[in-house]
Structures are given as structure tokens and as C-alpha cells.
């Protein structure tokens, strides 16, 4: 089967193409001078001028994206966490009177922080949408329990497609694989699954604010028979992503004109910082359902694989001698021994996503310049 590199992410090392992040790191080996690069929708994203704020409004582009997806798939589903991304998508379909066919909620039943969110926020908000906007929409709840851990973390986990997205947590991270396993081919043909990936990742370098893509945000969604479609990052509408970048910069100009590179890194990359709510507001996600909620939709959220939740779960798995935990540990140690250069040795200061001492380092795409920025001049 031919693979269209314009439609799926991939990595290159010295010109060689790889479809797995770990294989790219293996190709790098111990040569510090060799830098792997991540590629995502390069032709589409190179076709627009990133230095120009798109003329269309944010709401116009969001409407365009909703219509694109509705026309593209016969059966349109939303992977819903009630987080700022997926809830904005749900609101956008509702406000524009464009119908979804199904809302899919993943319940990580073994995670005492995530599990309560399902009944406290995810299901009630999904039910509200069905009741008030779309009575024909189905809500599907997928419970991820001990049996899923056993089938996910197998003896050959490191050689399976689901090892993509390794984040150092003893917790399945490839949700699309889990959904595919649970639904077992139940989905009608022509099905599309919308994901809320991702907010812009901006940085300041050489006097320019620039945008890059982190591969660790996307690699969990590879290798599935489901047709997934990222709402905010798509070759079908690159202007939507560029618009978000300029919205953030415009917000900084108005509210933080002296922001420097270090603060930009914290603003963008730390989901546990005081900036998290403003970050969401700046890129068009709208207000939180409950700003004080400690989970997905609130002021911030936990991001570290070293969080006590995972320590408790690992202790439980050891005490109960779960095969999945032994397989996860053995495979992780084997991978780290083969390519130690690919792993974070300590938890990164930015706290980006789930980065910790067991997580793979992020490989970046090429940088695209957006706007010149000098804090002294902009003050």
C-alpha cells in the first residue's frame, strides 16, 4: 500500500523517511550532530503566508471547518473529553447548527483523577448537547479497564504500533487504537473521528515569533483503521491554524507587550501554569465551563507522568502482579537501553504535556516565522 506523505505525519533523518518516532531516534544513534525532523502536512502549510493574519475571522474559519468535516464523512464522530479543545468543537457544531452523529467519551477507569471527570463533566455536557441541539446524536462511552491494559501492554508492546506516543506513563495513550478495539468494526463506512489536536506551539527566536509542531502531540493518533481528522491542524484548512497563531500574538500585544522568550515558553508549554486559561482564551477556545475545576476544562491540569496518580497505579499493578505492568517495564527498559539519547533524563522545566524522565523527547517540525518581536520596542 502506498503511503501519502502529504496526509500523515512522518519523520526524516538524513533524508530517510520513517513512520515511527522511535525508529527515527534509532537512526540518529549516538551522533549528536544528526537532528531528526518531524513533518506534518508540509505542502499544505507551505502554501500559505504565515506572516499574514488570515483575512477571515476566527468564527468564519471555524464554521468553514465544521462544514468541511460534515461534508467529508457520512458518519461524523467527536472524541470528547470536555476539555477546552473538544468542548469548543462541540460548541461550534451546536452554535452553527451542524450535526454530529456520535460523541465518544473515553473513561480511564483506573485513573482516579480522570475517571471522575467522565460523570462530573463529560457525560453531562454531551447529554446537554443531545437534549438541546441534536436528539439523534449517539453518546458512546468506552471504559478502559484492567483488561485493556493487558491487551495494550503486551509482551511485544515495543514492536507494536501502539508504542507510538510513549509518554512515560503506565497508561494507554493511543486512544484511537482503544476506540478501534472497543468498537470492533461497528462504525459505519465513511466514518470520521474528530480530535481536538492542537493549540499553537510558539517560541521566540532571533527576534521572530515562530511556530513549530511537536511530534509527541500527534504520534498517538497514528496506526489506526479509523479515519481521524484533527480539527485545528488540517491540510484541508491551514489558515485555521495560522489564524490561531496570530490571535495569540495579538493577545500578547494587547495584554503582555513585554513578554520575552522564557515567558512565552511557559505561557505555551506549561499546562499547569497560571497562563493556561489565558492561553486557551487567546487562541479562541472560549471560557471554561468551570474555571476552578481541576481537570480538563478548568484553570490548569496535571501533566507529569511522575504525578502521584501514576505512582499509586504502578504500586497497585506491582502488588497484583499484572502482566501488563511487567511488559510495560521490561519493554521500556529495553527501548531506553537501545536508544538512551531519545529520552528525557529529567523532567523538562516547561512541563510540556506529559513530559517526564521516562518520556521520549519531542522532535520538532521546521519553524515557520510569524511576526517580528522585540519586547523593548513593543513595550
pLDDT digits (tens, 9 = 90+) for 258-307: 999 999 999 998 877 889 889 999 999 988 887 766 555 555 455 445 56
Q: Answer with the residue of higher pLDDT: 369 or 174.
A: 369
pLDDT in tens, 214-264: 988 876 655 555 578 999 999 999 999 999 999 999 999 999 999 999 999
Spatial separation of the C-alpha atoms in residues 210 and 366, rounded to whole Å: 10
* 25 within some domain: yes
- pLDDT > 90: percent of the chain: 52
pLDDT of residue 114: 82
Sign of the Cα torsion 41, 42, 47, 52 reads positive
In the predicted model, is pLDDT for residue 201 greater than 90? yes
* 5 within some domain: no
* 125 within some domain: yes
Half-sphere exposure (CA, 13 Å, Cβ side) for 310? 16
Paired sense of beta strands 208-212 and 138-144, if any: unpaired
Q: Using omega within 30 degrees of 0 as the cis cutoff, is the peptide bond preceding 182 cis?
A: no
Banded pLDDT at 352 (limits 50, 70, 90) = very low
- Distances in whole angstroms, Cα of residue 348 to Cα of each of 143, 146, 266, 354: 31, 30, 11, 10
Spatial separation of the C-alpha atoms in residues 79 and 58, rounded to whole Å: 22
* 3 within some domain: no
* 4 within some domain: no
pLDDT of residue 304: 47
* 180 within some domain: yes
Alpha helices in the chain (DSSP H): 21-28, 42-46, 58-72, 84-95, 115-117, 123-132, 146-152, 175-183, 215-218, 238-255, 261-269, 276-282, 308-319, 323-338, 375-378
Contact call for residues 325 and 153 (beta carbons, < 8 A): yes
pLDDT of residue 297: 54
pLDDT of residue 273: 80
What is the total count of domains within the chain? 1
Spatial separation of the C-alpha atoms in residues 52 and 49, rounded to whole Å: 6
- Distances in whole angstroms, Cα of residue 47 to Cα of each of 186, 196, 234: 38, 23, 13
Spatial separation of the C-alpha atoms in residues 204 and 375, rounded to whole Å: 11
Q: How far is CA 179 from the centre of its chain?
A: 16
The alpha carbon torsion through 109, 350, 235, 184 (nearest 10 deg) reads -20
Contact call for residues 32 and 25 (beta carbons, < 8 A): no
pTM comes to: 0.91
In the predicted model, is pLDDT for residue 328 greater than 70? yes
Query: Which DSSP state fits 203?
Result: E
* 268 within some domain: yes
In the predicted model, is pLDDT for residue 373 greater than 60? yes
User: All 3 cell numbers of residue 281?
Assistant: 482564551
Contact call for residues 40 and 218 (beta carbons, < 8 A): yes
* 112 within some domain: yes
Banded pLDDT at 92 (limits 50, 70, 90) = very high
Helix, strand, coil shares, percent, the chain, to 5: 40, 15, 45
Spatial separation of the C-alpha atoms in residues 39 and 13, rounded to whole Å: 11
pLDDT of residue 351: 41
Q: Answer with the residue of higher pLDDT: 153 or 128.
A: 128
Mean per-residue pLDDT of the chain: 85
pLDDT of residue 67: 98
Structural domain of 69: 10-378
Amino acid at each position: 500500500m502506498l503511503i501519502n506523505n502529504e496526509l500523515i505525519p512522518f519523520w526524516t533523518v538524513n533524508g530517510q523517511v520513517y513512520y515511527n518516532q522511535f525508529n527515527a531516534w534509532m537512526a540518529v544513534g549516538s551522533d549528536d550532530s544528526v537532528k531528526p525532523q518531524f513533518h506534518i502536512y508540509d505542502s499544505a502549510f507551505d502554501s500559505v503566508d504565515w506572516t499574514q493574519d488570515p483575512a477571515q475571522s476566527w468564527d468564519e474559519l471555524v464554521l468553514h471547518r465544521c462544514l468541511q468535516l460534515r461534508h467529508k464523512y457520512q458518519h461524523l464522530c467527536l472524541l470528547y473529553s470536555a476539555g477546552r479543545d473538544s468542548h469548543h468543537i462541540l460548541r461550534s457544531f451546536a452554535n452553527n447548527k451542524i450535526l454530529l452523529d456520535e460523541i465518544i467519551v473515553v473513561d480511564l477507569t483506573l485513573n482516579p483523577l480522570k475517571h471522575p471527570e467522565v460523570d462530573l463533566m463529560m457525560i453531562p455536557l454531551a447529554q446537554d448537547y443531545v437534549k438541546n441541539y441534536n436528539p439523534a446524536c449517539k453518546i458512546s462511552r468506552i471504559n478502559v479497564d484492567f483488561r485493556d491494559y493487558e491487551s495494550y501492554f503486551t509482551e511485544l508492546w515495543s514492536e507494536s504500533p501502539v508504542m507510538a506516543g510513549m509518554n512515560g506513563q503506565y497508561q494507554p495513550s493511543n486512544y484511537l487504537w482503544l476506540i478501534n478495539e472497543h468498537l470492533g468494526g461497528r462504525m459505519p463506512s465513511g466514518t470520521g473521528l474528530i480530535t481536538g489536536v492542537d493549540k499553537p506551539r510558539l517560541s521566540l527566536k532571533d527576534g521572530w515569533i515562530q511556530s513549530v509542531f511537536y511530534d509527541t502531540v500527534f504520534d498517538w493518533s497514528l496506526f489506526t483503521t479509523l479515519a481521524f481528522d484533527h480539527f485545528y491542524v488540517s491540510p484541508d484548512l491551514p489558515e485555521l491554524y495560522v489564524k490561531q497563531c496570530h490571535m495569540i500574538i495579538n493577545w500578547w500585544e494587547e495584554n503582555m507587550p513585554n513578554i520575552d522568550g522564557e515567558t512565552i515558553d511557559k505561557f505555551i508549554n506549561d499546562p499547569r501554569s497560571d497562563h493556561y486559561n489565558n492561553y486557551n482564551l487567546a487562541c479562541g477556545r472560549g471560557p471554561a465551563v468551570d474555571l476552578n475545576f481541576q481537570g480538563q476544562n478548568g484553570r490548569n491540569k496535571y501533566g507529569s507522568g511522575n504525578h502521584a496518580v501514576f505512582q499509586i497505579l504502578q504500586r497497585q499493578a506491582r502488588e497484583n502482579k499484572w502482566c501488563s505492568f511487567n511488559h510495560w517495564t521490561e519493554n521500556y527498559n529495553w527501548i531506553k537501553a537501545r536508544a538512551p539519547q531519545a529520552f528525557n533524563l529529567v523532567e523538562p522545566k516547561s512541563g510540556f504535556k506529559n513530559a517526564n524522565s521516562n518520556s521520549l523527547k519531542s522532535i520538532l517540525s521546521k519553524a515557520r516565522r510569524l511576526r517580528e518581536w522585540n519586547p523593548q520596542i513593543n513595550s
